[in-house]
Structure 1
Amino acid sequence: MSFRIQKPQPLLGLLFLLLNWNAFALESRPDTIESLAKSEQWLFLMHYQPSTWGGYKGLATSPKFYAHPEGRTHPKKELQALVQLFNEAHQNSYKVDQHPRCRFPFRFKWLKRNLKGFAPTESPANCELYDLYIDKHNAKSIGISFSSYNVNSPSSAFGHTLIKVSSNKNLNDHSKKTELLDRGINYASNIPDGVNPIWYAVGGLAGFFPGTFSSVPYYFKVREYNDYEARDIWTYHLDLNQTEVDDLMDQLWELGNSPYDYYFLTENCAYYVLRGLQAAVPRIQVMDKVPFWMIPGDTVRALAKVPGLVKAVDYRPSIRTQVFARLDKLNPDQAEWVKDLASNKVNTSALSTFSESQQRDMLDAGLDFIELINPDDYYEKESPSLKAKFKLLQLRARNPLETLSLQIPLPEQAQPDRGHESARWGLVGRTDTLGHFGLGFDMRFALHDVLDGEVGYMRNAGVGFFHIEGTYWEEQNEFILDSFAALEVIALPAYSYYQPNKSWKMIFGHERRIDENCLSACDLFGIELASGRTYALTSQEDLLIYGLITTELKWSRHLPGSDFLAGVGPDVGLLYHWSLNTKSILQYKHYFYLGDQREVYRSGLAELRSTITTNWSLGVSFQNNEGHKSVNLKLFNYF
């Protein structure tokens, strides 16, 4: 018996190959797809994270972000579905903006670069929104803008970062005025109106609020941060080529199609700015340069650690910085005239007694001053401050002299990438008046206190999350948790006529206190709130005195009678800046408690701390809590 082998017909074979190309392509490259599905680049550009129970889970919560129904938890299925979607696109008709290349432009380019043999048949794609996005941004260069810390606003206490997209490649031609025409791509949490600060903090820590990307004119953010909130803005210009800029824009387009769970200390604006940057430009390995808990300041420090990545740093001073720069140029009589504008009254007769150039400087300072002290009034059409500003503008229009441009040098000591890392741990040696010796630890996940080195951080203020202190006492062979502050904020800005700032403090958490109300010592849980003022005793604000009225409400099962302790009393102190890196504080508290048989509580503190290097500091303190005295030697490392 013999077999007759027929010669295949070329045309039939070619037709069979074309009709079955998609299945053939997928099945003939299982190893390639298998390896790509496990590759770091694929997992990163799709923003997968290891799941708690094994496998992976995508950060994007919307099904529209994925090509496969199970794409959020199956990287391989998502990759296979994506390849098939592109390969079969020419066989389908799509509505406007629904073509796969409209939805996933970066993934399409990535597959062409990385998947061997990936060459889907070209088909027309009507991408109106994507084309508008690309045209509107006209991206030629990228910067990361950081707005400085603002402890008076819960959403701004840790600063904020956004991506600044410029249509100008040459930084030398990009003035402060023309950059206002740039765009800002922002990631932020969507918080309902009317949310109180406590729920804001709890919801932000627990991820209850969704986060989304948005694109806005850059001057919107300048108006918000520079003017309304009086925060300095630092922009770090990145050295990216045009292909990398285009890839980043495509990656951001894809990220903008889904909400994400927003967490204050981890998956926040800093996290997504860096993650999106590394996904689009894999040569920039920045995610390994930041801790698990990440805040906006970590973004710019991570960028600065990549050699050659930051090609320039720009500084845009806040309205507050500009006001004081203009006031410094005035004599006392001129400054007094500007000061009177706080009452929204424009003394035109007094103004006329000055020379034309003096009037120009006074009016320019006055316009900025009114805007600084009345930021909310610009939302009210008939507000007195708006009327006063309109009057000043009329007077300024009659003065023919040009405004003198402010030459405010870049303050390197305030540059955020130069500051210490955001987390801190420390070792503490303790000894008390009874001769007991203890070895303690001090751990704070974020961010800064008033005695930390102030380079790159806010002055006379601090904000901390999850600050834990404990001590092992050798003689008693006992470990004691001294305190755990879930949240602690203190702001001691100097009060002046030009800046009628309030000083305040809030601590929420646990402390172990030597207190007569507990008969010996007890664990107290609750909140402290304080408000008052701080005054500078020197012109450079090196020495400050503050006075606060503190109210506290604490609970403990060790209290006799009621389990609650409610008290009020003064909290006063002196804060002295020996230098940028060395500070000391003297503090005294005296609380009076409500209720029968409640005792007063008194405590005193004297502490000196010096920053040895950027991320190391050494301190010594003396404490007296109701007669229980101790001396503490502290060594801190910031990481």
Structure 2
Amino acid sequence: MSLKPTTALMDFSLINKRQRACLSLAVVGLLLSAPVQAVIPTPESLVTTGELAFEPSPAAAESLTEMPIVSASSGEQAKSIPNVDVDDKQNKQAEALLAEWRYQVKEDHLAQHLTWRRLLYFLDDKTSLFNKDVSKSLIDDPTFFLSDSSQQNSQQNSQRDGQQDASAEMDAMLVALSEEVAASQGMNSHGANLHSSSSHSKTSANNSVICRFPARTHWLAGILGIDSHHLQADCPAFDDWMTMLAPEQLSVMFAEEYLDSPTSAFAHTLLRIDSKASVADPSQIHHAYALNDTVDGNPDDAFAIYALKSTIGAYSNVIEIDPYPMKLAKYLKDDERDAWTYQLDLTPEETKQIIRHVWETKDLDIPYYFSTDNCASEILRLIDVVRFEQNLRAQLPYAVVPSDVINLLDNEGLLLDARYTPSDSTVRQAQSNKAKTATDFGYRASTKNAARNINSTEYNLMSSMSDDLETVINHGIVASDNNPVDRHPLQMAQVSIGQRGDNSYIDLGLRSGFHDTLDRTSGFPQFFSLEALDARLRFYDTDGDDDELDSLVLENFTVVRGRSFNPINTDSRGKTWGASIEATRVNDGSQESGRDHLVGSVGYESGWSWAFGTPRPGTGEMPPQLCYTLLSGQAQAGRGISKGFRVGAGVNMGCRYQINNQLRAQAQLQLPYWYHGGSGESNVHGHYWQPISTLGLQYDIDKKQALRINSSYEWQNRI
């Protein structure tokens, strides 16, 4: 490989015998050439020590002492010797460094080290749905790699691509580093100014390998024992960025689920970058920054297209670095979502290394997968870069949601103190609760106008953030019971026994997420209801007596079903609504033999809800009991039902009662009116009412286990 001429690292004494110098140079050229060094074992004398990048062997040292140089101390130029100049010495120094580093890399198998592969975005993922067992970098941007298919690797004498081969990229990195280290040391020894203020010098410096890949350089320097003084470079862009962020500590911020925005329905996580000032006083958020990994989607796309592209990786991710107050205000004030912040158990040096790696990757086009490679998984990937032994990302299931990441970090002992920050609606609700308590105990009289002013977003401007959005204000509100660390697992298995008419059955179910209104409430937003990818198989014990029932059926497959409750008598802002997409078994009331048909179903609800009861003292929680009335519309299609379809409209009414911390009950009455279209058959109805009443009861055994009783009855004379 042809090496760029550089300046020598070391100064040696000049002797007067020209013939001896020429002979020595020949010996040095042989001993220090890259091909020879690549195969000759490196003695301990070549290991990096002290101020020099390497310690030469006695023979090499004797020869090198006869090289003519420019003395850095005296500034006097030695006598000129033919074919020996500064460029030659610098070139040989780079070759010597490269040979030493290659030997150590080979001996310690450093090119396959997990940290190196993660720095290159080799995920080595055994669980990812889209990238399982893919042994290449997820990044296809050529600017991220020094080794490409056009470069020839001098060590292996083969052409390799850095995206496909971590070893090739390691070697290309070593080549570049050896040249820059030799050049910088040579310039230092000859009094060159490395910190030129000219625009051209800064542009060139920003493009150096030390400036482009500071995380790779830092890791290699530590593991190869390269003295940090030999890696000095003028990196204006990177240095200004690090000065702005001043990273000392990282925390994970969790913004709770927000059903009124479909893209926020599964919650959100981001990293808070703290400087020394915000570490000393966490309320001084204007000294902190937010590192947010999100989808770079097209806002003009319809929601269905947006969701599909986000799921299949058709959009890229984007890394946003913003002042932390701006991001926090979006969640607390705009969306009115409570936030939890957890300090990560990382050292300041690990924090800086993560930020160095972010610098290397922040401008790259990386596919974004809503369910697998998203804001939550990226946090684990960054921690894995500095904690390779914990292998956090590989511990996640196929679908990754923010609360899973919080629970995993907690289980791994990586979360330190937790800080709760109530949203604006929670602050208003806390005031409302306090005023109602004072009224109930006769401390003060309440008027409708006073209550209206508390609930009004126009008149009540109290918030957890100061008016200048620079400080978090503590209003003394007790933390709500929505800390995601306390929630039940999102993936739930279900085993049920039941009776339908004269037939008994067993249900086996699996729900990927999230939570329904009967589930254990701790860790979730109040009245939260969202289920996704829920499948249930039913085994009937018919004994051959019922020809209408198969012994094994798919009872239900829910793609998504949820309800957003915003009670009108609370400080929660928004409307109450619900939606569902599922395949489910229904009874067709239009005909006598219309039992048990599998149909595809889409539904939407909108209406009102009310909360009642006494909330926990000192909190901003709403009252614990809930009732609702929803106007509903549904469309269903399936081969077994009359005309192959039916559409319905009606009313759904229900109440959920929190009996105690472990026991809840829910009752609901559905009043749909179905229409199939006209029929010429006298015994087939084209339209009809089909009321359905349901009752549910759940008792929580612990965080992971519960007992539930469900019953339903269809008030239709043909069923």
TM-score, length basis structure 2: 0.72
Query: In structure 2, how many angstroms separate the alpha carbons of the residues matched to 1:199 and 1:564?
Result: 26
> How many angstroms apart in 1 are the aligned matches of 2:598 and 2:315?
33
Which of 507, 521, 529 is matched with 2:596 structurally? 521
Q: Give, as a single letter, the amino acid of the residue that structure 2 aligns with 1:65.
A: F
Matches within 5 A, 1:132-147: 132-147=240-255
> Could you tell me how far 1:41 is from its partner in structure 2?
2.5
Q: Deviations over 1:308-332 (max 9, x none)?
A: x322111111111111223345455
Code of the aligned partner of 2:27: G
Offset of residue 205 of structure 1: 2.3
Q: 1:10 to 1:169 in 2, by over 3 A?
A: farther
Which of 535, 541, 544 is 2:610 aligned to?
535
State which drifts further: 285-294 or 262-271: 285-294
CA contact (8 A) 1:544 1:574 kept: yes
> Is the counterpart of residue 415 in structure 1 residue 483 in structure 2?
yes
Report how many aligned residue pairs link the two structures.
569
Listed as ranges, the gaps of 5+ residues in structure 1 are: 1-5, 346-364, 373-389, 394-403, 631-639
In the other structure, the counterpart of 2:170 is 79
Residue 161 (structure 1) aligned to one of 258, 266, 269: 269
The separation in 2 between residues aligned to 1:142 and 1:251, in whole angstroms, is 14
Query: CA shift at 1:449, angstroms?
Result: 1.4
Change (3 A) 1:12 1:507: same
Q: Deviations over 1:452-485 (max 9, x none)?
A: 1111112212222211111122336722111111
Moved more, 552-561 or 565-574: 552-561
- Aligned AA (2:350): E
Tell me the equivalent position of 2:666. 585
Change (3 A) 1:25 1:168: closer
Amino acid at match of 1:554: Q
Question: Which piece of structure 1 moves more, 333-342 or 8-17?
Answer: 333-342
Report if the CA contact (8 A) 1:64-1:257 is conserved. Answer: no
Deviations 1:8-63 (A, max 9, x none): 94333324516344764576457347x33333333333232348696513233433
Q: Deviations over 1:522-559 (max 9, x none)?
A: 22113111111111243443332211111112222233
Q: Is the 8 A contact 2:122 2:138 kept in 1?
A: yes
* Alpha carbons 2:651, 2:671 under 8 Å: kept: yes
CA distance in 2, matches of 1:628, 1:207: 50
Residue segments in structure 2 that go unaligned for 5+ positions in a row: 1-19, 33-90, 125-129, 149-160, 184-200, 436-443, 545-549, 616-622, 679-685
1:486 is aligned to 559
More strand as a share of residues = 1
Q: Does 1:323 align with 2:428?
A: yes
Aligned residues of 2:278 and 2:287 also touching (Cα < 8 A): no
Q: Is 1:550 aligned to 2:646, yes or no?
A: no
**Offset at 1:217?**
0.3
Identity across matched positions, percent: 19
What is the match of residue 377 of structure 1? Answer: none
Q: How far apart in 2 are the matches of 1:237 and 1:617?
A: 32
The C-alpha deviation readout for 1:38-92, integer Å capped at 9, x for no partner, is 3333333323234869651323343323333333332232222222232234689
Cα deviations across residues 109-148 of structure 1 (Å, max 9, x unaligned)? 212233x476899476332221111101111221111111
Q: Secondary structure at the match of 2:553?
A: strand
Name the amino acid aligned to 2:429: F
Classify 1:628/1:297 alpha carbon distance in 2 versus 1 (closer, same or farther; 3 Å). Answer: farther
Match for residue 507 of structure 1?
A: 580
Q: Is the 8 A contact 2:105 2:111 kept in 1?
A: no
Structure 2 contact 278–285 (Cα < 8 Å) conserved: no
Larger radius of gyration: 2
Structural mapping, 1:66-145, within 5 Å = 66-69=145-148, 70-89=161-180, 95-114=204-223, 116=224, 122=230, 125-145=233-253
Q: Distance in 2 between matches of 1:55 and 1:201?
A: 25
For the pair 1:367 / 2:461, whether they are aligned, the reply is: yes
1:292 Cα offset (Å): 2.8
Q: In structure 1, how many angstroms separate the alpha carbons of the residues matched to 2:457 and 2:657?
A: 35
**Whole-Å Cα distance in 1 between the matches of residues 233 and 577 of structure 2?**
57
Equivalence for 1:59: 138
For residue 375 of structure 1, what is the aligned residue in structure 2?
none
- State the shift of 1:160 in Å: 0.9
CA 1:52–1:627 in structure 2 vs 1: closer, same or farther (change >3 Å)?
Answer: same
1:617 to 706, 709, 714: 706
Q: Which amino acid aligns with 2:461?
A: L
- Structure 1 segment 77-476 matched on structure 2, within 5 A: 77-89=168-180, 95-114=204-223, 116=224, 122=230, 125-168=233-276, 171=279, 173-176=280-283, 178-282=284-388, 284-307=390-413, 309-330=414-435, 331-333=444-446, 336-337=449-450, 339=452, 366-368=460-462, 406-411=475-480, 413-434=481-502, 436-475=503-542
The answer (yes or no) to whether the contact 1:45–1:276 under 8 Å persists in 2 is no
Query: Aligned partners of 2:718 and 2:146: how far apart in 1?
Result: 65
- TM-score, normalised by the number of residues in structure 1: 0.81
Structure 1 residues 175 and 37, CA, compared in 2 at 3 Å: closer, same or farther? closer
Distance 2:561 2:521 in 1: 18
Deviation at 1:437, TM superposition (A): 2.3
Structure 1 contact 622–629 (Cα < 8 Å) conserved: no
Which residue identity is paired with 1:571? N
The answer as to 2:642 corresponding to 1:560 is yes
Comparing 228-237 with 441-450, greater Cα deviation is found at 441-450
Name the amino acid aligned to 2:165: H
Is the 2:670–2:692 Cα contact (8 Å) retained in structure 1? Answer: yes
Structure 1 pair 482–90 and aligned structure 2 pair: CA distance change class (3 A):
same
Name which of structure 1's ranges 197-206 and 183-192 shifts more when overlaid on structure 2.
197-206
Q: Give the secondary structure class of the aligned counterpart of 1:60.
A: coil
Asked if the contact 1:68/1:78 (under 8 Å) is kept, the reply is yes
- Which residue pairs with 1:384 in the alignment? none
Given that 1:140 and 1:169 are in contact with CA atoms closer than 8 Å, whether structure 2 keeps it comes out as no
Structure 1 position 297, deviation (Å): 0.8
- Give the corresponding residue for 2:651: 570
Structure 2 residue identity aligned to 1:38: Q
| Residue 637 (structure 1) aligns with | none
2:514 match: secondary structure: strand
**Aligned ranges 1:599-638 → 2 under 5 Å:** 599-625=688-714
Distance in 2 separating the partners of 1:239 and 1:117: 26
| Letter of the 1:68 counterpart | S
3-state SS of paired residue (1:222):
helix
What's the counterpart of residue 72 of structure 2?
A: none
Three-state SS of the structure 1 residue aligned to 2:206 is coil
- 1:306 maps to a residue whose letter is E
Q: What amino acid maps onto 1:419 in structure 2?
A: R
Contact map agreement 1:327 1:335 (CA 8 A) in 2: no
Q: Assess if the C-alpha contact under 8 Å between 2:111 and 2:117 holds in 1.
A: yes
| C-alpha distance in 1 between matches for 2:262 and 2:268 | 12
Q: Contact (CA 8 Å) 1:492, 1:504: kept in 2 or not?
A: yes
Aligned-partner Cα distance in 2 for 1:342–1:579: 28
* Counterparts of 1:626 and 1:8, CA distance in 2: 107
Pairwise CA RMSD = 3.4
- Structure 2 equivalent of residue 385 of structure 1: none
Shift in alpha-carbon separation, 1:251–1:188, aligned structure 2, 3 A:
same
Cα distance in 1 for partners of 2:717, 2:182 equals 82
